[in-house]
Amino acid sequence: MESYTEKILITGALGQIGTELTNRLVEIHGADNVVASGLDRWQKGITSAGYYERMDVTNTQLVRQVIKDYDITTVYHLASLLSGTSEKQPIFAWKLNLEPLLHFCEMAKEGLIKKIFWPSSIAVFGKGIPKENVGQDVVLNPTTVYGISKMAGEKWCEYYFDKHGVDVRSIRYPGLISWKTPAGGGTTDYAVEIFYEAVEEGKYTSFISENTAMPMLYMDDAINATLKLMEAPKESLTVHSSYNLGGMSFTPKELAEEIKKEIPDFTIDYQPDFRQAIADSWPASIDDTIAKKDWGLTYDFGIAEMSKDMIKNLKVKLNKN
């Protein structure tokens, strides 16, 4: 197997996934081998990475220069416009969610970089698929701007692997839940907001109706899965579009019941908005057998463990002990 020092670039490094993934990559590879990028101006403590580049990922010339300047070998390309926001800005969503991925694949084809991680989403599923236990190879039929862009991205990943041997790896993330970084415009974000509101106010108004089940994943498990996939031998991977990741599945009502075990006076009401239609187009649960078989996917958190951990950490973060 080829041996080289990994030099890593993370786009969207200041976002919900990027912040925590950067920390873990620094732990594994050392700060000097990790370059974070985002749109914010640099300030002290902005990232744990050894280097920070203020960079618009749609500026291909700048991205290429950064990759050359730091001798980047691996790109974690996380920058994107999420589902709720994408519905309001479809043209910008298409540009941001697709074009940089293609340029990274081209750079890998040229031999400029060796490996790419790009996240897909459960948003690629849509009309006409089973609601429960959705398999890896179901026909994708997204009905949202975000889902359409992610489906196209998956096809590009597969194309560049099949035609040019590009090592691009992907996971269909379900809803991601974290206490460290606030949510950023996604349909599953009620499951983050609810914990903040429970700890701060003792009540929450959900924009998703009480019995809508969606697949969710605690951030610790999402980061572990991402790293496990990227460390797996190329030969063991059988999926070159994007791997299903099931996590856990629950409704807002079930999550509220779990929160009440820790905060007994917590109350919830429901005022579904435009994101309800997006949620209705997504599956309730996912079959991730192939990821478990190919690269050893495992989970540490279910709804009970996650709820306890979220509330414990948010009480400290928000000074509510």
Residues with active-site annotation: 146
| 79 neighbors 90 (Cβ within 8 angstroms) | no
78/91 Cα distance (integer angstroms): 19
Opening angle at CA 318, ends 265 and 264, nearest 5: 10
Q: How far is CA 32 from the centre of its chain?
A: 24
At 259, the amino acid letter reads: I
105/221 Cα distance (integer angstroms): 27
Question: What does residue 209 show for φ and ψ, rounded to 5 degrees?
Answer: -70, 160
Q: At what angle do helices 60-69 and 90-109 cross, to 10 degrees?
A: 40
DSSP E strands in the chain: the ranges are 8-11, 34-38, 51-54, 74-77, 115-117, 120-121, 168-169, 171-173, 175-177, 203-206, 214-218, 243-244, 248-250, 267-270
32/193 Cα distance (integer angstroms): 34
107/67 Cα distance (integer angstroms): 9
